Amino acid sequence: MIRKLETHATLDRRDREAIQALPHHVRTFDASAYLVREGDSLQHCSVLVSGYAFRQKVTGDGLRQIVSLHIPGEPLDLQHLFLDLADHNVQTLTRAEVAIIPRAALQSLALSHPAIGHALFVNTLVEGSIFREWALNVGRRDARTRVAHFLCEFAARLDAQGLDGARGYELPMSQEQIGDALG
Q: Which pLDDT score, from 0 to 100, does residue 166 have?
A: 74
Q: Which pLDDT score, from 0 to 100, does residue 167 have?
A: 83
Strand 34-36 to strand 64-70: parallel, antiparallel, or no bridges (unpaired)?
unpaired
Q: Which pLDDT score, from 0 to 100, does residue 160 have?
A: 86
CATH number of 2-182: 2.60.120.10
Q: Which pLDDT score, from 0 to 100, does residue 64 have?
A: 97
Strand 25-29 to strand 96-102: parallel, antiparallel, or no bridges (unpaired)?
antiparallel
Q: Which pLDDT score, from 0 to 100, does residue 124 have?
A: 92
The residue count of the chain comes to: 183
What CA–CA distance (Å, rounded) separates 145 from 69?
18
Edge-to-edge order in the sheet of strand 96-102: 25-29, 96-102, 44-50
62: left (phi over 0), alpha (psi -120 to 50) or beta: left
pLDDT in tens, the chain (183 residues): 898 899 899 999 999 999 999 999 999 999 999 999 999 999 999 999 999 999 999 999 999 999 999 999 999 988 888 898 999 999 999 999 999 999 999 999 999 999 999 999 999 999 999 999 999 999 999 999 999 999 999 999 999 888 887 788 999 999 999 999 998
Identify the DSSP state of 174: -
Q: From the CB of residue 141, how many other CB atoms can be counted at a distance below 10 Å?
A: 17
Q: Which pLDDT score, from 0 to 100, does residue 56 have?
A: 98
Give 3-state DSSP helix, strand, coil % of the chain, rounded to 5: 45, 25, 30
What CA–CA distance (Å, rounded) separates 135 from 67?
8
Q: Which pLDDT score, from 0 to 100, does residue 72 have?
A: 95
Identify the DSSP state of 75: B
**CB-count burial class (<10 Å; 0-12, 13-18, 19+) for 100:** middle
Q: What is the DSSP string of 27-41?
A: EEE-TT-EEE-TT-B
